[in-house]
A and B are shown apart, each in its own frame.
Chain A
Amino acid sequence: AAGVIQSPRHLIKEKRETATLKCYPIPRHDTVYWYQQGPGQDPQFLISFYEKMQSDKGSIPDRFSAQQFSDYHSELNMSSLELGDSALYFCASSLGTARTGRETGELFFGEGSRLTVL
């Protein structure tokens, strides 16, 4: 079965550069979530989208932005990168959200994009 696809899997950038991560959700899943997991940390919710609209926001820095496109894929844009942005960035998808009443609470995670900022 198709899973959540993330690209690139690994990315190395220098401080103050920009980076873009991509996420392709499971087909027919309409909700996408972004999580950040720093070294030795638990995943932290950044932001989510339902039907191409931002549905929830977590601890996403102002330097980061994200969007969901008409084909439901999502991109996380990170600018003015800092050393502390080095982390594993997970995208997850689900079918439905609390707003639709169809949420299941089960998220399917991609394999993650590892960002290293030098």
Chain B
Amino acid sequence: RKEVEQDPGPFNVPEGATVAFNCTYSNSASQSFFWYRQDCRKEPKLLMSVYSSGNEDGRFTAQLNRASQYISLLIRDSKLSDSATYLCVVNPSTGYGGATNKLIFGTGTLLAVQP
């Protein structure tokens, strides 16, 4: 079983739709969490960090449920330019209160926004 699991998709949605991605992680001691975006054949780029209280950045909302070891990303009013692979990323704990930065990536969820 992978440490970070995501539905690979693809999610095909029309422009303007709201779409949600989910992710589960197995290491309960994980320190921090992120959503990265990766365009085809490009490098991963940080989309947003995920905080316990939930956080929003424009059309994007991230939620973390530590008890269920579950992370989500909600995209509202989808744009064509949102088409990409969304990677759920976990930063494991060192055990000393910090994070290792040995990021563990999920396999990604492919989003295709249709005109």
Contacts and interface: CB of A to CB of B under 8 A. Distances in A.
Please determine whether chains A and B interact with each other in the same assembly.
yes
Interface of A: 31, 33, 35, 41-45, 48, 56, 58, 88, 90, 94, 97-99, 101, 103, 105-112, 114
Contacts, number: 65
Q: Which of A103, A105, A108: most chain B CB closer than 10 A?
A: A105
Contact of B94 (A35, A43, A98, A111): A98
Given A44-B105, A56-B101, 12 more contacts: A31-B101, A43-B87, A48-B102, A56-B100, A88-B41, A90-B43, A97-B101, A98-B94, A99-B98, A105-B31, A110-B43, A111-B43
Given A105-B49, A106-B49, A42 B100 contact: no
A13 B102 CA distance: 28
Contacts of A112: 42-43
B46 A106 contact: yes
B44 A109 contact: yes
Nearest to A44: B105
A106 B89 CA distance: 11
Given A41-B107, A42-B106, A42-B107, A105 B43 contact: no
A43 B101 contact: no
Contacts of A94: 101
